[in-house]
Amino acid sequence: MTHTRTARPDQAFDTLLEAARRIAQSIAAEQADDVDTKARFPKETMQALRDASLLSAAVPRHLGGAGCGLLELNQLCSTLAHGCGSSAMVLAMHYIQLACVVRHTGARPALEDFLRQLVERQWLLASITSEVGTFGDTRSSICAVERQGDRFVLDKDATTGSYCAHADAIAVTCRRDADAAASDQLLVLVRREDARLTQTTTWDTLGMRGTCSPGFRLESSGPIEHVLPQPYADISAQTMVPYAHTLWSSLWWGIASDAVRRAGQFVRAQARKTPGVTPPAATRLAEVTVQLQTMKQHWQSVAEAFDALPDTPAGREELSGIPWGLRLNNLKIASSEAAPQIVHRALQIVGILGYKNDSPFSLGRHYRDVLSASLMVSNERIASKNASMLLVLKDMP
């Protein structure tokens, strides 16, 4: 077990957080509308994140990274989301894949060497879990990894692959071998030099346009050591889902929080026009902050509880259990429902200036970005998994 957690922010983390804040307020915020309009990769922001060593925040210290815990990564992503939702989603997806490698290397030298190089070169990791024919079920695959001596061969037809064309490596789910069941999956780390990508669909979406997530046909062959040793069932329950559901929630909160910040600026400007009179919208601003604060406390408490778990076989086993499964799924469902509601309420406060795309109070991008939340692994699909778990759980969570 190589993952190192910090119990509370230290100086190294403070430096990273300050860098994330600076990048969010300057480069990310400045480029966000252009990234959104052109549906282009936020390359300036990603370069700034690289320059500040933010891409290796999740790598343990003994491998050269900052050793950030889950709560700290959540803080970094939510901070960046205030400037640009797509950039924060890219960073979140990168951290999710990075955590999978970090926590499931099995102390394999080739994977540890990969992580050291990632720190040095600030590599960006993408993921391909979706597949043509599996209908959004990340826990089943059609493609299978093939072993050829000391190499693997893996081809996959992905429906959605965020920023794959810009990534240095892609974590890919697949069946263990050609005879394995659809759910008997592994995770393979495919480096750019080991992959050939052919774009198969476009990415012209309502929101999250800067994630650049079209479909891809992947053809790859790489060192066999890059097939992660543990079953994907464990990686998914113990790392992929906990990191994804908290990091996504924190960045959706960041987008909603920026919407409320804009609404707050609008209300204060109104108040200055009528000194001594509290504008009616101020009450609605107060009301929406209740929902915003609840949302924040939800992802914070789940991330804190995760960080407090001992990184032992027993601690990891706990994450595979029903109570943690429900807790994480509930966080995802609650956050993905709350974020659009909060942005909608901010829009009602601001009115037409929020509806306009060219005003300092514009909320269109925020609204469109958070609408992806309930679809990004469909809430219906997650709710049906919860329903099955609740049938066998005696004590309600």
Ligand X SMILES: Cc1cc2nc3c(=O)[nH]c(=O)nc-3n(C[C@H](O)[C@H](O)[C@H](O)COP(=O)(O)OP(=O)(O)OC[C@H]3O[C@@H](n4cnc5c(N)ncnc54)[C@H](O)[C@@H]3O)c2cc1C
Question: Which residue of 53, 56, 97, 130 would you call a contact of ligand X, by CB under 6 A?
Answer: 130
Span from 17-25, 232-240, 358-366, 379-387 in contact with ligand X (CB under 6 A): 379-387
Residue 309 pairs in a beta bridge with none
The CB-of-18 to ligand X minimum distance in angstroms stands at: 28
| 375 touches ligand X by CB under 6 A | yes
CB neighbour list of residue 334: distance below 8 Å, 6 or more residues apart: 295, 298
What is the side-by-side strand order in the sheet with 216-223? 146-148, 151-158, 216-223, 195-199
- Residues 161 and 211: beta-carbon distance below 8 Å: no
Is residue 307 within 8 Å of residue 356, measured between CB atoms?
no
Binding part of the chain for ligand X, among 59-67, 68-76, 155-163, 306-314 by CB under 6 A, reads 155-163
Q: Total residues at the site for ligand X (CB under 6 A)?
A: 23
Find the shortest distance in angstroms from Cβ 32 to ligand X.
15
Q: Site for ligand X (CB under 6 A): which residue of 18, 110, 121, 135?
A: 135
Find out whether 12 and 61 touch, Cβ atoms under 8 Å: no
The answer to whether residue 199 forms part of the interface with ligand X (CB under 6 A) is no
**Nearest approach, Cβ of 96 to ligand X (angstroms)?**
10
- 4/162 with CB nearer ligand X: 162
By C-alpha distance, which of 282, 262, 285 is closest to 273? Answer: 282
Least distance between ligand X and beta carbon 251 (Å) = 11
- Closer Cβ to ligand X, 79 or 127, answer by number: 127
357 binds ligand X (CB under 6 A): no
Smallest CA-to-CA distance from 260 within 335, 337, 367 is with 367
Question: For the purposes of burial, counting CB atoms within 10 Å of the CB of 116, is it exposed (0-12), middle (13-18) or buried (19 or more)?
Answer: middle
By CB under 6 A, residue 128 contacts ligand X: yes
Return the bridge partners of 46, or none. Answer: none
Q: Nearest to residue 89, comparing CAs of 372, 393, 386?
A: 372
Report the helix count and the strand count for the chain, using DSSP H and E. 14, 7
Q: Which of 53, 79, 127, 336 forms a contact with ligand X (CB under 6 A)?
A: 127
Residue 238 found at the interface with ligand X (CB under 6 A): no
Element housing 146 (H / E): strand 146-148
> Cβ-closest residue to ligand X?
136
Q: Which is nearer to ligand X, 248 or 324 (CB)?
A: 248
Minimum CB–partner distance for residue 158 and ligand X (Å): 6
Query: Interface with ligand X by CB under 6 A: which residues?
Result: 93, 126-130, 135-136, 158, 160-162, 208, 211, 213, 372, 375-378, 380-381, 384
